[in-house]
Chain A
Amino acid sequence: MRCEGRCEGRSDHPFAPCPLSFTPRHPPYRRPSPSQVLQPGSYVLSVTLKGYHIKESPFNIVAGSGFFSDVLAGLPAPPPPWIPTGEGYASPRPTCTGALSGTRATAAPAPPRLSRNLATPAVPFARDGAPSPRPASPRPAPPRPAPARPDSPRPASPRPALDASSSSPRSPDRVLQLASAQLEAIRRRAALNGLGMPPPVEALVEALDAALGPAPLDRPTGNGPQRPGATAVPSPLRQFEASVAAAGAQMSLADDR
């Protein structure tokens, strides 16, 4: 602050600090911040009016790096796995950050791959080549990390390195692999915090949320009634998530056994 005029007690030096101090007679003014920054993680967002929730409130928010949403939003649908492509399924996106960025697929050509998917589950075969008499499991056997026994030490990294060139971004195997890693991280976190293991379905949903990342067009599904005119048609991503969740629930039940 520069002092103008003849201030009492001011030295003759033109740049000497002014001894005057100004004390506001009103509460200190705090400029309202344009936004409030929170830590990444899971939150419950609720909007209430006089104690009553508005529509779709409350609901869970998962703040993630957006790996899957970036991949799903910015890339065309991958061709069938038996048709080789020269472009690959993924391309580097500089906006994609987070723990998975190091394992993200590059623009290298994706090799042809004979993989299972949820629509065509693998049929187990007997040793003689004939189909097994047992009914085929609706869940394809995902490339899960090695099952950790309770007495065996857990791996150091909760997220195993993913071979991005071996599967397309929409591959159910890939989603299940990520979800398995997230589920393992949840279990480790629960064990470290001394908490009991959350219910399998909730843990799986949280793992899938973290694995799939944000979906910009995803609407919350709260407890309140829907607006008139709102369509309840599930999106393909929602159907895909539901099928993966169903498969993962069986996987979790198998783990519990």
Chain B
Amino acid sequence: MLTKLLLPHRFKRIGWWLTILTTITAVMLFSGNYQGSWLDLGSYAFVSRAGMGAHHVGNMMKSNANIFGQVVAALLALSLLLVAFSKEKMEDEYIATIRSSAMIWAIWANYLLIFLIFLLVYGPTFVSLMLYNIFTVLILFIARFHYLMNKAREEEIRPLKKLF
């Protein structure tokens, strides 16, 4: 795996903090406790269906919707990307192998989820679950990568544990 494509390690900590903050905000948003009315800005879109609160502005469409949800979703995706694709303190080829294995596992697991959603879920819930699916591949990768890293650490200290 090309480590050139990974961010410096310091971004991992930033990613974790941002993940915690955006997750709390997302929970507040979905539970209806906070709507972020200061973000009633509307958003521009290149592609949008006419109607649905959108109108033409030049060649683009402008909706008058509150963009709080979009901002939170974008920040959550960004924070998960920072956690997933920042280097470890010392990134070497063994860690790159673990990273690559976790990535393949996460894509398999994510597509298994997608197949289950295709087969078992219909209607508006289907659309909602497919939206959550934007984040699940990253969440699955992060979980699997950290599980394998911990396993590698445990295997390292297991012979020492046997001695005591």
A, B in one complex: no
CB within 8 Å of A: which residues of B? none
Name A residues whose Cβ lies closer than 8 Å to a Cβ of B: none
